[in-house]
Every structure is written in structure tokens, then in C-alpha cells.
């Protein structure tokens, strides 16, 4: 490693030293994102956007397989509509951007830039729904939303972000509940299969649920620094919005009924999760499932006869099934390129020089374990495909191990406080499910209730934190 190469890597602050600075260094230096002239608004650069496109492709397919169709609702929502559901407006009004003028004219009613679209969508649903035969409504939209955040960080919390929001209507509570859980499960599978990001799934407390929801379900991931990330939520809205927006239909007996609704969403926040679950001090480590470039070929001594010809041959052979690129830039050394692609988290690197070609072989480097291997040319395609699968599953295992090592049981709030201040992570505890206890935990330890997981463990009859009877086992953590 030349001095220049070394310096290149050392530009990233070690995560043990300052995790927040590490994150900022990684997202900027790998060109995922940039700050914009508008405070709190990010620019998603091509390398970051390509990750989002891969997430979209996976999810969009899953949504369609489960019977959903895409549509598009207006960006701007009249204030009067936002106000129709009381809890909803209370939750969102403080963080919306208001449009007050169109051209030179002041508007009669101000319009909010959608922070989420339940209100405008329900207004349309009330117009569209007539009969039980129309149900279920299974719609989704891919869109941008704006929430005026005071403190922002790219991908994790920004004043504008990209997401999808599903909005459905059903005849019965049970069907709505089934849909809510079905879509949470699609999210869980996306997180684990595509992003190699293990998640805990469960229910939010009354305090933490979505403004206007009957029940909110969530998937929670644990980051390298021991903080949790709420990575996706699915809400059973029961009849709250249907009644507020007067959505009715004639049921099988000709009676007027309110339907049950759900909504569910994931956002560009997932990209923040990928970075903080898998990244290391060299930079990004991208799971092959979402990596914009899965394999990069770096030619060695590219000017020597036969090298680029062989590189092109390998590229042509692999490109059908694999997202692959050749780094043929002439003004950078192979060492510099190795570092750059490691920093950018490309799962597999193929090194090919005159000696490799002479020996009819290549060198493969895998980003997750930093291991190298020599592979005969005629086994290359098969080996690369194996390797990508192996990296994907290894990354999930590694992330699970990391999470399990940072998951604790505590006996009381003092132990919890100690853990949160020294080695934060998930804390599993028996819980009384009271708001008072929840507020107290937050005040004392900085941790919030992440979820009451579907997979319950018996941690005794008494709440770990107070004297009340325990209602369930819950996960707590500091969170983004």
C-alpha cells in the first residue's frame, strides 16, 4: 500500500472513535448522498439512488404479487383535510411545510406538503367506494414526503425523503389485521433476504404508535453503535380514518358500513440501516442483493498486451446475470482502485494482470471478510455466483451475531441505565405496559420502547422496572 493509498482509507474516521463522524464520512466519501442548499434536504447521488432502485424493484414485485396496484395522489393537501382525524393532525401538524402562495396570489386555504397521505387518500376513497364488491382496495404509491425536522441526518432523518406508502380498505377488522401483518412480513423478508439486515418484529406501545392508528407494527434493526433503527412500520387503522372521512359502503346485506383501513411504509431510511449494520472502518460493505455494482474488475498493468482483451472477455461472460463494471480509468493505480472499491463496499473484486492471464486464473477478493482467493478462469463464472450468494448469507449471519452480542437482559432500571451508558444495545425485559413506566425508562436511561415482539419470552410476572404486574416481554433501546 503506497502512502497515497493509505491516506485515502484513513480519511474515514474510525467508528469506535466517533460513530456519527464515521457515518458522515462514509456517506459523503462513497458519494451516496450530499447536503443541499436547503437545510435538512439531501441530494441522493447516483450510487445511493441505485441502492434505492434495487430496494424498489424488490418491494414493487412483492407488492404486486400480493395483489397491490400503484397509483399517485397529490403532493399538496388542504389544511381542512389534514384536520379531519384529530390524533393524526396533532401528530403531524407541527412538522409540515405549508404552501401559502401560488404564483403571485395568496391561497384561500393553505396547503401542506404531504407528510404522509392518509388524509388525501381517504378523501378519494370516500368517493370511490360504493359496494362490498369493490373491496378490498389494495393501493400503493411511491412518492416523496416532507416533514419539517429540526435535527437531520442523511437517510436517517431528513426533511424530505422517498418512500412507498400502501393504503388499503377491507370489509372486516380481521382482514385489515391480516393485511397489516402480511405487509410487515414482506418488509421483514426484504430486510433479511435483500439487505441482510436482521430485524425484530412486533407491536408498538400506545405512546409510540402512528398518529391515528389503532395499532402499529414495526421492524427494528440494531446498528453497529448499539442504537436501534425503526426500519419499517405497518398500521392497522381500524375504522379511525373511515369514520373521520366518512368512507362507507353497502355490505352484503345492503347495510351501510365503514370499512377497515391499513397503511404501511418503508423509506430511503433503509439505506442508512444498510450502512450502519454492515459498514466497517474501510467504508461501506454492501449486500450483493442491493449493491449497485456487485463485481468490479480491476485490470493490473492494463497497458500490457492481452490484458484488456481478457478483461473484456470476462466482462462479457459475466454481465448477463451480474451487475458488473470494469474500472479501466488510466489515471489511477490498481492500489488506489482497490481502496476505492473497498470503501464503496463492492462485494467482489476481480483482479486480472498479465501473470494471472498467463496462468489462466484470476484473483477474487470478497469485501465482507477481506479474503482473497485464486480461481481458475474456467471456474470463474460459477465461483462468482456462489461467492455472491455466500456473501449475502454470511452478511446476515454476521449481522445477527453482532445484534445478539448487543442484546441484553436486565434485572432492574439501574442495570438498564448502566448498559445504555456503557454498551448500548437492545434490552429485553418484562414490562407492565403502562405509559408512566415507559416515560420513566426514557427519562432515566434514554431508551424507548422499540416493540413488544411477536416472539415472546417468559421473563417473569413482574415488570422489570416497576412493581406492577408484567403484561409482556418488550425490547428497549436508544433509537435513531
Q: CA separation (Å) from 247 to 81, 171, 262, 323, 391?
A: 14, 12, 14, 46, 49
Tell me the window of 9-17, 32-40, 306-314, 445-453 that interacts with its own copies (CB under 8 A).
32-40
Q: Terminal CA-to-CA distance of the chain, rounded, Å?
A: 37
**Cell numbers at 365, concatenated:** 477478493
Q: Taking CB under 8 A as the rule, does residue 78 contact its own copies?
A: yes
Q: How far is the CB of 149 from its own copies (least distance, A)?
A: 9
Q: Taking CB under 8 A as the rule, does residue 128 contact its own copies?
A: yes
Rounded distance between C-alpha atoms, residue 228 and residue 409, angstroms:
16
Q: Which helix (H) or strand (E) holds 244?
A: helix 240-244
Q: Taking CB under 8 A as the rule, does residue 71 contact its own copies?
A: yes
* Binders in 143-202 for its own copies, by CB under 8 A: 143-144, 146, 148, 159-160, 162
Which one of residues 2, 18, 98, 457 is an interface residue with its own copies (CB under 8 A)?
98
Tell me the window of 76-84, 217-225, 230-238, 349-357 that interacts with its own copies (CB under 8 A).
76-84
Helix (H, G, I), strand (E, B) or coil at 160: strand
Which one of residues 67, 102, 306, 376 is an interface residue with its own copies (CB under 8 A)?
102
Q: Which helix (H) or strand (E) holds 141?
A: strand 137-146
Neighbours of 115 (CB within 10 A): 22
Whichever of 196 and 271 has its CB closer to its own copies, that residue is 271
Q: Taking CB under 8 A as the rule, does residue 113 contact its own copies?
A: yes
- Which residues fall within 8 angstroms of residue 119, CB to CB, at 6 or more apart? 77, 81, 82, 84, 85, 88, 241, 245
Does residue 33 contact residue 45 with C-beta atoms inside 8 Å? Answer: yes
Q: Taking CB under 8 A as the rule, does residue 93 contact its own copies?
A: yes
Which one of residues 15, 51, 120, 463 is an interface residue with its own copies (CB under 8 A)?
120
Whichever of 53 and 174 has its CB closer to its own copies, that residue is 53
Q: How far is the CB of 26 from its own copies (least distance, A)?
A: 18
Region of 103 on the Ramachandran plot (φ > 0 left; ψ -120 to 50 alpha; else beta)? left
Which one of residues 25, 85, 118, 123 is an interface residue with its own copies (CB under 8 A)?
123
Tell me the window of 118-126, 272-280, 300-308, 456-464 that interacts with its own copies (CB under 8 A).
118-126
Buried b (16+ CB within 10 A) or exposed e, 415-425: bbbebbeeebb
Neighbours of 453 (CB within 10 A): 19
Whichever of 154 and 425 has its CB closer to its own copies, that residue is 154
Q: How far is the CB of 99 from its own copies (least distance, A)?
A: 5
Tell me the window of 39-47, 219-227, 235-243, 440-448 that interacts with its own copies (CB under 8 A).
39-47
Q: Taking CB under 8 A as the rule, does residue 44 contact its own copies?
A: yes
- Which residues fall within 8 angstroms of residue 260, CB to CB, at 6 or more apart? 169, 170, 171, 172, 173, 175, 176, 236, 237, 238, 239, 242
**Cell numbers at 3, concatenated:** 502512502
Q: How far is the CB of 115 from its own copies (least distance, A)?
A: 10
Rounded distance between C-alpha atoms, residue 137 and residue 143, angstroms:
19
Q: Taking CB under 8 A as the rule, does residue 139 contact its own copies?
A: yes
* Binders in 385-444 for its own copies, by CB under 8 A: none
- Which residues fall within 8 angstroms of residue 205, CB to CB, at 6 or more apart? 433, 435, 438, 449, 452, 474
Tell me the window of 41-49, 199-207, 225-233, 299-307 that interacts with its own copies (CB under 8 A).
41-49
Whichever of 103 and 320 has its CB closer to its own copies, that residue is 103
Q: How far is the CB of 133 from its own copies (least distance, A)?
A: 7
Q: Scan for cell 425523503, then name that residue.
A: 161
By rule CB under 8 A, what string of x and - marks binding of each residue 306-335 to its own copies? Answer: -------------------------x----
**Cell numbers at 92, concatenated:** 403531524
Does residue 115 contact residue 92 with C-beta atoms inside 8 Å? Answer: yes
- Which residues fall within 8 angstroms of residue 435, CB to CB, at 6 or more apart? 205, 206, 207
Q: How far is the CB of 144 from its own copies (least distance, A)?
A: 6
Q: How far is the CB of 206 from its own copies (least distance, A)?
A: 24
Which one of residues 4, 6, 61, 127 is an interface residue with its own copies (CB under 8 A)?
127
Does residue 120 contact residue 75 with C-beta atoms inside 8 Å? Answer: no
By rule CB under 8 A, what string of x and - marks binding of each residue 252-281 to its own copies? Answer: ------------------------------
Applying CB under 8 A, which residues contact its own copies? 34, 36-38, 41-46, 48-50, 52-53, 69-78, 81, 93-104, 110-111, 113, 120, 123-124, 127-128, 133, 139, 143-144, 146, 148, 159-160, 162, 331
Amino acid at each position: 500500500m503506497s502512502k497515497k493509498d493509505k491516506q485515502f482509507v484513513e480519511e474515514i474516521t474510525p467508528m469506535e472513535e466517533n460513530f456519527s463522524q464515521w457515518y458522515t464520512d462514509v456517506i459523503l466519501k462513497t458519494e451516496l448522498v450530499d447536503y443541499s442548499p436547503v437545510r435538512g434536504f439531501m441530494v441522493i447521488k447516483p450510487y445511493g439512488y441505485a441502492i434505492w432502485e434495487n430496494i424498489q424493484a424488490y418491494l414493487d414485485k412483492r407488492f404486486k404479487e400480493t395483489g397491490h396496484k400503484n397509483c399517485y395522489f397529490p403532493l399538496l393537501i388542504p389544511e381542512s383535510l389534514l384536520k379531519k382525524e384529530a390524533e393524526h393532525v396533532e401528530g403531524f401538524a407541527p412538522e409540515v411545510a405549508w404552501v401559502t402562495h401560488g404564483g403571485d396570489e395568496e391561497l384561500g386555504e393553505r396547503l401542506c406538503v404531504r407528510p404522509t397521505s392518509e388524509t388525501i387518500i381517504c378523501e378519494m376513497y370516500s368517493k370511490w367506494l360504493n359496494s362490498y364488491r369493490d373491496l378490498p382496495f389494495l393501493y400503493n404509491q411511491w412518492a416523496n414526503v416532507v416533514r419539517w425536522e429540526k435535527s437531520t441526518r442523511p437517510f436517517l432523518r431528513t426533511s424530505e425523503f422517498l418512500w412507498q406508502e400502501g393504503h388499503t380498505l377491507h370489509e372486516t377488522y380481521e382482514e385489515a389485521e391480516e393485511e397489516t401483518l402480511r405487509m410487515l412480513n414482506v418488509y421483514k423478508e426484504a430486510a433479511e433476504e435483500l439487505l441482510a439486515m436482521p430485524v425484530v418484529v412486533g407491536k408498538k406501545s400506545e405512546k409510540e404508535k402512528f398518529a391515528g392508528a389503532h395499532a402499529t407494527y414495526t421492524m427494528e434493526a440494531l446498528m453497529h453503535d448499539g442504537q436501534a433503527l425503526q426500519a419499517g412500520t405497518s398500521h392497522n387503522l381500524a375504522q379511525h380514518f373511515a369514520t373521520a372521512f366518512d368512507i362507507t359502503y353497502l355490505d352484503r346485506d345492503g347495510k351501510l358500513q365503514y370499512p377497515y383501513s391499513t397503511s404501511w411504509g418503508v423509506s430511503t431510511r433503509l439505506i442508512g440501516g444498510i450502512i450502519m449494520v454492515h459498514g466497517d472502518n474501510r467504508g461501506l460493505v454492501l449486500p450483493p442483493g442491493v449493491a449497485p455494482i456487485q463485481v468490479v474488475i480491476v485490470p493490473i498493468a492494463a497497458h500490457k498486451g492481452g490484458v484488456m482483451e481478457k478483461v473484456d472477455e470476462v466482462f462479457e461472460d459475466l454481465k448477463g446475470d451480474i451487475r458488473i463494471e470494469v474500472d479501466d480509468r488510466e489515471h489511477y493505480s490498481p492500489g488506489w482502485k482497490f481502496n476505492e472499491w473497498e470503501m464503496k463496499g463492492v462485494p467482489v473484486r476481480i483482479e486480472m494482470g498479465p501473470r494471472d492471464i498467463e496462468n489462466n486464473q484470476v484473483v477474487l477478493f470478497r469485501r465482507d471478510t477481506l479474503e482473497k482467493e485464486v480461481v481458475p478462469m474456467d471456474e470463474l463464472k460459477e465461483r462468482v455466483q456462489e461467492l455472491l450468494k455466500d456473501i449475502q448469507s454470511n452478511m446476515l449471519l454476521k449481522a445477527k451475531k453482532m445484534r445478539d452480542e448487543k442484546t441484553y437482559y436486565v434485572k432492574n432500571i439501574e442495570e438498564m441505565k448502566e448498559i445504555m451508558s456503557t454498551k448500548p444495545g437492545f434490552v429485553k425485559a418484562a414490562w407492565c405496559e403502562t405509559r408512566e413506566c415507559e416515560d420513566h425508562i426514557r427519562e432515566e436511561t434514554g431508551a424507548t420502547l422499540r416493540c413488544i415482539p411477536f416472539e415472546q419470552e417468559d421473563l417473569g410476572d413482574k415488570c422489570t422496572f416497576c412493581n406492577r404486574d408484567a403484561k409482556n416481554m418488550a425490547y428497549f433501546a436508544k433509537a435513531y
